[in-house]
Every structure is written in C-alpha cells, then in structure tokens.
Homo-oligomer: A and B are copies of this chain.
Amino acid sequence: VQPLKRDAARVDEAPRAALTCTKALRGDAERNRKRLVEAAGCAFAELGFGVSVEEIARRAGLGKGTVFRRFPTKDDLVAAIVCDRMDELQRFGDALLEEDESGESIHQFMMRAVAILSQDRGLLEAIHGLSCTNVDVQSAKHMVVETVGALLAREQRAGFIRSDIAACDVMLLTAAVSHIAAPFHAIDSDIWTRYLDLVFDGLRPDAAHPCSHAPPTEEQMMRAATADVGLRRLPGSGPAPTV
C-alpha cells in the first residue's frame, strides 16, 4: 500500500512485499504522504498507539479521509512507521558487522535498539502487538534477525557470548528490556542501561547454566507474532463474537 522507502541499493535485491503498490504518486499526494508519515511518527512516539487518526490528520494538515485513502487501516499506518525504524536498526547492525570487530557489537546493537524502543511508545507497542501481522513488518523484522544472527555468530566464535543463544533470543530480550525502561522514559531516561547490563551478564559464557528449554523455532516466532489478533475487533466486520 505504501511505496517502498528503502535505500536505493537494496530495493531490487529484496522488494519488500509483492502486494505493495509501488505506483508513483501525484506530486501533491506524495508531499501529503510525507507529511502524514512524519506527523504519525511523532504522534505515536509521544502518545502511543492510542492517538486518534483525526489527531494525526490534524497535525498533518489533512482531512482524516485522506489518511485512510493512503493507509487503508490505522494498523497499516503504524506498520509503515515501524518498518522505517526497523530498517534504521538493520542498517546500524550491518554497519557494525563491517566496522566493529571489538566483540562488543551485540552489546552495541542492543544498546541502540533499546535506546530507540524505550523512547518510542508506539514502536514498542506495535512490536509486541498485532500490527506484526502486517507483511512488511514481518519481512523487515526478518532482515533484522538475520543481521543479528551474523553478529551473534561472530561473537560466539570468539567466545564473548554463550553458545546456546539464538538470534531470536537477542531480539526477545531486547524488547523485554525496552519494556522495562519505557515507563521511565520521562523520569530517568537512562535506566535501561541497568537492565541491559543485568540481562547481558546472563548472556556471557562465564556464568552460563544450561537452559531448560530450547529457543523458539522460526515458525513459532511467526505464530507468536500473529497470535493475539482477534481481540481488537475490526468494527464493521460482522457482529460481536458471542463467545
């Protein structure tokens, strides 16, 4: 629905989703779309997923009908923002993969990710929430996981991280630390460092005790991400479930 917004270098190599309409927009429409995404990004970060579409439209100087013309559903709008931030993270990870050889790169990655997530309510809500059903978010997330996997493998070979950790563990723990830190955003915005430190101590080989459970498979991750749809029912999609 929204046009691709990735760095030119990778566009043809991995066209995000076949469904995505890539048709160029008319001049004014394109400008409106930019304003909209900008306004939505700020509004979600400030106020969380709960901001009304009308408020976003007002900030962007548009009628709310226009919002729904560009993004058929509020969740699609959220997804567009989430994809942007996710791409940003992935580029950061790629850069670490090329530049940093210090054995600190997973730590660096987690720090960056938590710093972003814990200050952006909407993003965090969205990542644990149902907008993950969105195809674009899924694939953006998948690419991040791959990058993390590469960073991880390198550090495990060097003995900096315990060997029974998978890339998805890193993702899940990163989100978890962000969740701890988020409510402290305006109170003590650095507090995430404490919990990242603690969690990270558990990722080093020094004190590793064997885990009693394997990491989730890729399919389980997928199912978990799309699992909890169904409570926030789409109005107009039939009568309320009688349960």
Contact = CB atoms under 8 A, between A and B. Distances in A.
A212 B184 contact: no
B232 A50 contact: yes
A184 B51 contact: no
Given A198-B202, A201-B201, A180 B186 contact: no
Interface in A203-225: 203-204, 206-209, 211-216, 220, 223-225
A128 B179 contact: yes
A58 to B, nearest CB: 8
A55 interface: yes
A229 B37 CA distance: 25
29 contacts: A47-B231, A50-B231, A50-B232, A51-B231, A55-B240, A165-B198, A169-B194, A169-B195, A172-B195, A173-B195, A175-B180, A176-B179, A176-B180, A176-B195, A183-B224, A183-B228, A184-B216, A184-B227, A185-B227, A187-B223, A188-B216, A191-B216, A193-B212, A194-B213, A197-B209, A197-B211, A201-B201, A201-B208, A204-B207
The 3 residue pairs across chains A and B that have the minimum distance between CB atoms: A207-B207, A202-B202, A194-B213
Interface of A: 47-48, 50-52, 54-55, 59, 121, 128, 165, 169, 172-173, 175-177, 179-180, 183-188, 190-191, 193-195, 197-204, 206-209, 211-216, 220, 223-225, 227-228, 230-232, 240, 243
